[in-house]
A and B are shown apart, each in its own frame.
Chain A
Amino acid sequence: DQQVKQNSPSLSVQEGRISILNCDYTNSMFDYFLWYKKYPAEGPTFLISISSIKDKNEDGRFTVFLNKSAKHLSLHIVPSQPGDSAVYFCAASGDGNKLVFGAGTILRVKS
């Protein structure tokens, strides 16, 4: 039972353009959502989060959008840079502690 789904295994974007990573969830009890970035052989690094009381949160080049009615969130990276190439994980929590992760999307930014 995948409660958090990232349906795109990979995404390729040209440097300077926008990267949009998508995530869907099924559990309506989730109220806190996060995006992590992961390089090979390293632990995930926290990027940005959003509470269910908001529909947008922005931090520099990264913006997360939350559509509660569609149970969908997305991460926008503008402009994309080669160093952004990594695996991006979406995660959600309904109890403030335990996170449920998606399978990840590999982002490749071409220079």
Chain B
Amino acid sequence: SQTIHQWPATLVQPVGSPLSLECTVEGTSNPNLYWYRQAAGRGLQLLFYSVGIGQISSEVPQNLSASRPQDRQFILSSKKLLLSDSGFYLCAWSGMTNQPQHFGDGTRLSIL
């Protein structure tokens, strides 16, 4: 069966520090991969998605970037975090078109 791993579960970072969140998927090949952010009391906002290695689409302008160095690995990064980057970050994967996305357990990021 397919599983998705996301870490760390919680992270506290100072403003201006770098960020690297990692997500890996097991049990499937060539998944579509996604990064979402959920702000307090809001829905999930799609940040990036990828349909293959090295292919990244950005949905909103922001201080973050994403990379997909391997088929089942998706990384969310920032060179210098802002206070507004605080939130709950979720990674997800899906198979073919019009298939449900399946989410990891998320990372709670707090910027001080």
Interface of B is mostly: strand
Q: Do B94 and A97 touch across chains, with their CB atoms under 8 A apart? A: yes
Is the CB of A63 closer than 8 A to any CB of chain B?
no
**Distance, CA A103 to CA B42, complexed state (A):** 5
Identify the interface centre among A6, A31, A97: most chain B CB within 10 Å of its CB. Answer: A97
Q: Do A44 and B44 touch across chains, with their CB atoms under 8 A apart? A: yes
Give the contacts of B91-112 with A (CB-CB under 8 A). Answer: 92, 94, 97-98, 100-106, 108
Q: Do A98 and B105 touch across chains, with their CB atoms under 8 A apart? A: no
Query: Which bracket fits the contact residues of B?
Result: 20 to 34
| A23–chain B nearest beta-carbon distance, Å | 11
Query: Which bracket fits the contact residues of A?
Result: 20 to 34
Is the CB of A60 closer than 8 A to any CB of chain B?
no
Q: Do A42 and B49 touch across chains, with their CB atoms under 8 A apart? A: no
Identify the interface centre among B43, B51, B105, B106: most chain A CB within 10 Å of its CB. Answer: B43
| B24–chain A nearest beta-carbon distance, Å | 14
- 10 more A-B contacts (CB under 8 A) besides A41-B108, A101-B44, A103-B41? A32-B98, A36-B103, A43-B92, A44-B44, A46-B101, A91-B44, A97-B49, A97-B51, A98-B49, A101-B36
Residues of B within 8 A of A (CB): 6, 9, 32, 34, 36, 41-46, 49, 51, 59, 90, 92, 94, 97-98, 100-106, 108
CB-CB nearest 4 A-B residue pairs: A96-B97, A43-B103, A101-B43, A46-B100
Residues of A within 8 A of B (CB): 4, 6, 31-32, 34, 36, 41-46, 49, 51, 89, 91, 93, 96-104
